[in-house]
């Protein structure tokens, strides 16, 4: 076994968590209160206070509501069928909002516990329009494009300083010819979050430092821009850790690293002392509007909300498709790190803009897509 590695610490945290849970079970004789979510540790509640401005009570209630909304979303898709126009979590009401193209489906969806909104375009139509945009070549002044269920359109984001550039205007005109499109602005262009070598962090490949995403049986998943297939990976102590077995970037931004003997995997995301280390129990996809947190080797633990899904991000190296956008900050070296909502794995950090001093936005590659691509099994508690 490797001594005092991040994964080693995670094993200890897992054992401590199980022990504390057993002790807590027999501690009280008073009438039981409703159990808070398993994710609602004091550290997580404090992170949600700092990043989202929530009191502990508000944070616990929101986590409960988001967990319920995740289940409602699955049922709403089935109930609405072809009339489904997308959905999002509304923090003000604590409920999922489901867009529908047919009023006849409203009663069935509302019976599930969701609110509804009638829209013109179905989610299928919007996804098809975005796919047509994915076939276009975008100039550097276009930051990306995504399906936005609230706007019921495909939103093309342009860099503010280049919005009037001929190439940008031409792209927007072509995009509008492909389907329902609206235009938004971003302060700067997105970038990936790899970094030069810094001692003591989770893993290195070449002269690049990145972060472990989620443990899978046989290794872990991370960002594709961190290394190519066949590249050797070194652990925090510089010793041989594993090898990139598969990697895709641009187009996608994901990779699978197999690990050598002497290293092990555990279903844990590091909380870096800000919150307790998080047990991973599954990979149910959180809805737009839900709270989400990120763990990375540079800026450690930060939280925010899911802003959009199925966004194409136009990096300088090329476009990456099917990304999820969040309000969580990140910096160089955080690439590949874990995005988690409650105890559910969401994805691996890709890139963004801004930093954790002044704020910014970050995209991740959904973890379920990575698992499916490489035939991997998430290591869960």
- Cβ atoms of 101 and 83 within 8 Å: the answer is yes
The mean pLDDT of 50-55, rounded to a whole number, is 92
Sequence-distant (≥ 6) Cβ neighbours of residue 340 within 8 angstroms: 269, 278, 280, 292, 293, 294, 295, 346
Given the residues 39, 153, 225, 248, select the one marked as catalytic: 225
Lowest average pLDDT, out of 30-34, 93-97, 255-259, goes to: 30-34
The answer to whether 253 is a known catalytic residue is yes
Q: Model confidence at 34, in pLDDT bands (50, 70, 90)? A: very low
What pLDDT is recorded for position 7?
Answer: 39
What pLDDT is recorded for position 262?
Answer: 83
Count how many Cα atoms sit within 13 Å of the Cα of residue 226 in the half-sphere of its side chain: 37
- Cβ atoms of 301 and 293 within 8 Å: the answer is yes
The answer to whether 115 is a known catalytic residue is no
User: Reduced to 3 states, what is the DSSP secondary structure of residue 77?
Assistant: helix
Is the per-residue pLDDT at 23 higher than 70? no
pLDDT in tens, 229-278: 999 999 877 889 999 999 999 999 999 999 988 888 889 999 998 888 89
Is the per-residue pLDDT at 307 higher than 60? yes
Count how many Cα atoms sit within 13 Å of the Cα of residue 66 in the half-sphere of its side chain: 27
Given the residues 90, 148, 201, 253, select the one marked as catalytic: 253
Is the per-residue pLDDT at 105 higher than 50? yes
User: Reduced to 3 states, what is the DSSP secondary structure of residue 352?
Assistant: strand
Of 95, 153, 103, residue with least CA distance to 287: 95
pLDDT mean across residues, the chain = 88
The mean pLDDT of 217-240, rounded to a whole number, is 93
Of 165, 221, 216, 217, residue with least CA distance to 189: 165
- Cβ atoms of 236 and 200 within 8 Å: the answer is yes
Sequence-distant (≥ 6) Cβ neighbours of residue 228 within 8 angstroms: 244, 247
Given the residues 215, 283, 335, 350, select the one marked as catalytic: 335
Count how many Cα atoms sit within 13 Å of the Cα of residue 121 in the half-sphere of its side chain: 19
pLDDT in tens, 137-181: 999 999 999 999 999 999 999 999 999 999 999 999 999 999 999
- Cβ atoms of 349 and 317 within 8 Å: the answer is no
pLDDT in tens, 339-373: 999 999 999 999 999 999 999 999 999 999 999 99
pLDDT in tens, 181-195: 999 999 999 999 876
What pLDDT is recorded for position 30?
Answer: 32
Q: Which residue has the higher pLDDT, 8 or 133?
A: 133
C-alpha distances (whole Å) from 222 to each of 116, 142, 148 are 36, 26, 26
- Cβ atoms of 119 and 101 within 8 Å: the answer is yes
- Cβ atoms of 158 and 173 within 8 Å: the answer is no
C-alpha distances (whole Å) from 326 to each of 123, 226, 342, 347 are 20, 20, 15, 11
pLDDT in tens, 74-85: 999 999 999 999
Is the per-residue pLDDT at 336 higher than 60? yes
Q: Which residue has the higher pLDDT, 24 or 280?
A: 280
What pLDDT is recorded for position 346?
Answer: 98
The answer to whether 46 is a known catalytic residue is no
Is the per-residue pLDDT at 124 higher than 70? yes
């Amino acid at each position: 076994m490797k001594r005092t590695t991040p994964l080693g610490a995670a094993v200890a945290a897992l054992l401590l968590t199980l022990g504390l849970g057993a002790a807590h079970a027999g501690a009280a004789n008073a009438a039981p209160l409703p159990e808070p979510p398993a994710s609602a540790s004091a550290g997580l509640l404090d992170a949600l206070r700092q990043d989202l401005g929530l009191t502990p009570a508000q944070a616990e209630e929101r986590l409960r509501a988001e967990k319920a909304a995740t289940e409602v979303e699955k049922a709403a898709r089935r109930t609405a069928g072809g009339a489904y126009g997308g959905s999002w979590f509304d923090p003000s009401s604590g409920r999922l909002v489901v867009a529908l193209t047919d009023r006849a489906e409203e009663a069935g969806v509302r019976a599930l516990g969701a609110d509804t909104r009638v829209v013109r375009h179905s989610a299928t139509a919007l996804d098809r329009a975005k796919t047509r945009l994915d076939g276009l070549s975008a100039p550097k002044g276009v930051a990306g494009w995504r399906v936005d269920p609230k706007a019921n359109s495909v939103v093309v984001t342009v860099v503010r300083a280049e919005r009037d550039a001929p190439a940008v205007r031409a792209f927007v005109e072509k995009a509008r010819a492909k389907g329902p499109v609206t235009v938004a602005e971003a302060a700067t262009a997105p970038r990936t979050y790899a970094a030069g070598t810094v001692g003591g962090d989770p893993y290195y490949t070449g002269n690049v430092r990145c972060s472990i995403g989620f443990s899978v049986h046989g290794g872990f998943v991370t960002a594709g821009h961190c290394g190519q297939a066949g590249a050797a990976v070194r652990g925090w102590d510089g010793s041989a850790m594993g090898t990139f077995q598969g990697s895709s970037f641009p187009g996608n931004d994901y990779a699978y690293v197999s690990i050598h003997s002497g290293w092990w995997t555990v279903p844990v995301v590091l909380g870096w002392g800000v919150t307790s280390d998080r047990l991973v129990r599954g990979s149910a996809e959180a809805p737009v509007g839900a709270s989400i947190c990120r763990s990375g080797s540079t800026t450690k633990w930060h939280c925010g909300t899911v802003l959009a899904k199925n966004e194409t991000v136009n990096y300088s190296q090329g476009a990456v498709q099917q990304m999820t956008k969040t309000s969580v900050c990140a910096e160089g070296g955080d690439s590949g790190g874990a995005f988690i909502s409650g105890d559910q794995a969401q994805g691996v950090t890709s890139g963004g803009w801004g930093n954790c001093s002044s704020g910014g936005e970050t995209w991740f590659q959904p973890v379920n897509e990575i698992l499916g691509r490489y035939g991997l099994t998430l290591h869960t508690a």
